[in-house]
Every structure is written in C-alpha cells, then in structure tokens.
Structure 1
Amino acid sequence: MKHQHILMALIAVSCSLFVGPVHAEKDPLERSLNAYYAGHYNAAYNFTVPLAGQGNPAALNLLGMMYELGRGVPQDPARSVVYYRKAAEKGDIHAQFNLAVSYNTGVGIPMNFQQAVKWYRRAADQGADFAQYNLATMYEEGSGVAQDFQQAAQWYRLAAEHGNPQAQNNLGWLYKRGRGVGKNLMVAYAWLDTAAVQGLHSAAEERDRIAAQLTQNEYAIARSLAEKYRQDYAGGKKK
C-alpha cells in the first residue's frame, strides 16, 4: 500500500465527538449535543439556535455541521460555511478545521488551498492532530504553499505524537525515502509499526517489507524503538 494522502474531513462538533455522546446535561450546549447524538436533530437545532445567537462558538460550529449534512434543517453547505467562519474567528478549533476542509474541498465555498492552509494552521497551532495531518499533506503536496518536506515532516511528527495513525504512516514513509528527514529505515519501521498496531494494514505491509531489508542488529534496534513508540504514541498496544 502506498503513502497515505487521505484528507481528514471529520466534521468536528466538539471534543465530545471523538469520545462518544455526552450524558450529563450540565449546560445548554450539552443538551444540544445529547439531542444530536440521539438523532433528534430537530430538537438539537431548536436547542442550538439560541446559543448560537448568543455567539457560543461551539453552538455556531454545530449549526454549521447541521446545515452541511442536512440534519434538522435543509442541507445548505454555503450556509454551513457562514457558521463555521463565525465560530472559527472566535477561536473554535473544530470550526477552524471544518472551515479549512470546506476550502480544501470546495464544499459550500469556492475551493481555495491558501485559505485551507490558513485555517488548518489555526487549528494545528492549537494542537488538533487531524488539522496537523492535513496541514502536513498540504506541505508535502505543495497545495496552497510551496512544497516543503521538512515542514511536512514537522507537522506529521506532531500529529503522530498525538497518536494519529495516518500521520505515523506518512512520517514512516518520509524516513524511508529521506524526504524532509534523514533516511533511516529503522525509524521508518518504528513509525509504520506504530500505525500498524492501530489498525492501519497498509502500514503493516510496508513495515514488513522494510524488516526484510534490515540486518539482524538493525532489526533489533528497530523493534526496540517500535516498542517505545507503541507505549508513547499508541497506548501501549502490542503486536
């Protein structure tokens, strides 16, 4: 399998989206999210509109998502971008990412890679691994920015250290090819292994191909490094 260049286009509502539904209703936004996760989109919309009217960035982002997907409202990608932008300008990390994806894909707004890079960077600077990954691919491909493998490696590394398997895979490939980093098959093996234990089968295939090229001593070093990366960046998963 080849180097992954998959656009991460998760429509992000809040951190809750990545860990499952919110159960306790400690504030009005949680009520909106609970209704949304339960599939009660009309109720979620009715709960969210007043919050968005108050300028709540997470609520604005949620409305943007509902308009983009047509959940509780008629589908209207152009209107979704309006809400994403309002939330993004208030610093909402998920809205910044969603706005970047809109520019990257031309959904609801004319495609503009430079603007996509701008908003990916805003979210990436706040530590969003999904934005760091997409920003890295922009640098690697030269989309919206001058092609820069060192910058690509930097952003892949940040995302990889947050546990992002696609970034771990791509960083492994950069080490294999010596692009933006010094060529090092042992480090390439370790990053590919870390992605593989998180379920990325293509990374496992490439890891095994690299293993066949290593000497016995190099393989021992690569395995030791891979174990460390698993513990640090893949929750200690074992092969």
Structure 2
Amino acid sequence: MIKPIRAVSLVCLLGGSLLALSAGSAPARAQSADLVLCDRLAADPADPDKPADVKGVAEIAPGDVATAIKFCRTAAASSRRALYGLGRAYAANRQSNEAIAAYRKAADKGSSSAMVELGVLYATGAGVAKDDAAARKLFERAAEAGNPRGISNLAALSGGGGAPADPVRARALLAKAAESNAEAQYQLGMMLAEGQGGAKDDVGARSLFEKAAAQGHPAALERMGAFAQSGRGGPQDSTAAKDYYQKAAALGNDDAKAALKRAECPYVLKDKHGGVVSNLCF
C-alpha cells in the first residue's frame, strides 16, 4: 500500500505543470490532477484513448494500486479512459466485480480498450459466464473503432478454435491493424500462409512474420524459423532458422523448443501409420 504522503507529493510535483497547462493551452486540453495521476499510474500503453505524451504501464505496480484506484475513481466522473484505468486498477487489486463494472461503464462511453477487456472475459469465462457471442460483439465494436487488439482478437475468435467465423472480413480488418500491431501481423500472416479469407501468399506471410518477429512476438519468431528452415516464401537459411527458434524458445514458445530438439536429434522414429513417435539422438 502507498502511504498518503506519496500521493500528495505526486500532486505537488505536478501542480506547477498543471497550472501552466491550464493557463497556456486551450481549455479543452486542460486536465485535472486526478486524471494526470490516473494516467501516470494506470494508463494502458496500447489504449487508443491515451494521449501521445502518456507512456502508460503494462502492469500497475502493486504499491500503486490503491493510489491508482483513488485518483482514477475521481477522474472517471468525466473521463472514459480514467474509467478504463479504474477497471485496470481494480483488476490488479483482484476486485473482479468492480473491474467488470468499470469496464462496462467505459465501454458504454465508447472505450474500445474496455470493450476488448470485456470481450476477453466473455471469451474465457473469467468472472462472467462464458459467452462467445457476447465476446464477438465486443471485439467487433472495438475492431470497428480501429482498436488493434479488438481486430486481432476478433480474427482469432471462432467457435471451434480454428479459422475465424468470417475469414474474409477478419483478413480485411487485420490488414488495417497490421501496419503497426505485432499480433495483427502474426494473425494476418497465418491467414496468408494458410490461404484463409483469400489467396495463399507465402511471401506476404513471411514478410508479416518478419515484422512481428522484429518486435519480439514469440509465435512469429517460431514461424520465421520454420519458413527460413524450409525456404518457404524466401531464401532457405538454416543458421537464421536456428537463431529465430532460439529467440522464440527463450520467450517460452514450445513449438520452437521442439524444433530445436529435432535439429539436435534429426533421426525420426515413426509408427506403422507414419506418425512421429520420437526423435533419436546418437
């Protein structure tokens, strides 16, 4: 828990800049101290509502949770991104019901990030009854608003865990998000590699995997290893393939770990149906 004096000191440190902002900027740009502190402690780096000058935090520090709840709750009266930040703070404090309520209010006010969080909860059944239809509607709303996570989650969501329910639409939405989002690049690359929602395109898939891999996306790193190893969509390069696999494995990707194991033990033992039983090492 953060001591009250820390919260007060943050307000004091920011007080001068807030006054200058109010005096030197248009009224529409002025922000309350509560919102500034909410942003500092609980803003999501990927939230499209977040101002460019706000860095955000991937995870709210345990010692900042109580302070984040306090300031975000006050700022939430007039800011939907503060409502979303409040939901994040409640979630970090394991207050699931309060987090869901805050996400709902933020989503109702148009927060696409809150829509994504609610969609994930419905898709996984965490804190709410599992409901793929509700998840899909929320992801669709977020995707229509241009939220990259909404787009990639919509593309990934399907009744049986396979191809998207509407691959053509998913592919079009992903193409828009893939300009900058690593997950969207990976998802679109998979669709191009498998020919879902349009023509198969190994060269295009490899290019997308390469972009996502450069951002440290584990699954994209593994796919780049596989494509480089086989020469799919570009030059064959065993050295590069091993490097990609090692990077993916270091990030916990099981497929990459298995690929490295196969490289160490290239002799394959198969059953009578041709299925792989194990790799043999000598």
Task: Please give the alpha-carbon distance, in whole angstroms, between the structure 2 residues aligned to 1:46 and 1:60.
Answer: 12
Change in 2 beyond 3 A, CA 1:96/1:14: farther
Tell me which residue corresponds to 2:224: 171
Query: Number of matched residues?
Result: 194
Q: CA deviation at 1:14?
A: 7.2
Amino acid at match of 1:115: R
Equivalent of residue 130 in structure 1, options 183, 203, 213: 183
Task: Write out per-residue CA displacement over residues 67-86 of structure 1, whole angstroms, 9 at most, x where no aligned residue.
Answer: 33334443322122222211
Unaligned 5+ segments in structure 2 are: 1-43, 48-56, 73-81, 267-282
Task: Please give the alpha-carbon distance, in whole angstroms, between the structure 2 residues aligned to 1:137 and 1:170.
Answer: 9
SS at match of 1:180: coil
Task: Write out per-residue CA displacement over residues 142-187 of structure 1, whole angstroms, 9 at most, x where no aligned residue.
Answer: 1222111101110110111011222122212212211111122222
Change in 2 beyond 3 A, CA 1:137/1:32: same
Task: Please give the alpha-carbon distance, in whole angstroms, between the structure 2 residues aligned to 1:128 and 1:139.
Answer: 16
After TM superposition, the structure 1 stretch with the greater mean CA deviation from structure 2, 63-72 or 170-179, is: 63-72
Tell me if the contact between 1:192 and 1:207 (Cα under 8 Å) persists in the aligned partners: no
Tell me which residue corresponds to 2:9: none
Tell me if the contact between 1:100 and 1:118 (Cα under 8 Å) persists in the aligned partners: no
Task: Please give the alpha-carbon distance, in whole angstroms, between the structure 1 residues aligned to 2:263 and 2:244.
Answer: 9
Matches within 5 A, 1:159-238: 159-200=212-253, 201-206=257-262, 208=264
Indicate whether 1:154 and 2:207 are aligned. yes
Task: Please give the alpha-carbon distance, in whole angstroms, between the structure 2 residues aligned to 1:198 and 1:14.
Answer: 21
Task: Please give the alpha-carbon distance, in whole angstroms, between the structure 2 residues aligned to 1:177 and 1:71.
Answer: 40
Tell me if the contact between 1:177 and 1:183 (Cα under 8 Å) persists in the aligned partners: yes
Q: CA deviation at 1:94?
A: 1.2
Tell me which residue corresponds to 2:104: 49
SS at match of 1:91: coil
Overall identity of the aligned pairs, in %: 26
Change in 2 beyond 3 A, CA 1:80/1:161: same
After TM superposition, the structure 1 stretch with the greater mean CA deviation from structure 2, 153-162 or 138-147, is: 138-147
Q: RMSD of aligned C-alpha atoms?
A: 2.9
Change in 2 beyond 3 A, CA 1:173/1:209: farther
Change in 2 beyond 3 A, CA 1:118/1:57: same
Tell me which residue corresponds to 2:59: 20
SS at match of 1:51: helix
Change in 2 beyond 3 A, CA 1:206/1:39: same
Unaligned 5+ segments in structure 1 are: 1-12, 211-239
Task: Please give the alpha-carbon distance, in whole angstroms, between the structure 1 residues aligned to 2:252 and 2:155.
Answer: 27
Relative to the length of structure 1, the TM-score reads 0.69
After TM superposition, the structure 1 stretch with the greater mean CA deviation from structure 2, 83-92 or 18-27, is: 18-27
Change in 2 beyond 3 A, CA 1:155/1:206: farther
Tell me if the contact between 1:42 and 1:73 (Cα under 8 Å) persists in the aligned partners: no
Change in 2 beyond 3 A, CA 1:143/1:69: same
Tell me which residue corresponds to 1:83: 138
Amino acid at match of 1:148: D
| Structure 1 ranges of 4+ moved more than 6 A | none
Tell me which residue corresponds to 1:29: 84
Structure number, greater radius of gyration: 2
Tell me if the contact between 1:132 and 1:155 (Cα under 8 Å) persists in the aligned partners: yes
SS at match of 2:178: helix
Task: Please give the alpha-carbon distance, in whole angstroms, between the structure 2 residues aligned to 1:198 and 1:52.
Answer: 33
Q: CA deviation at 1:48?
A: 2.2
The one of the two structures with greater contact order (alpha-carbon pairs below 8 A, sep at least 6) is 1
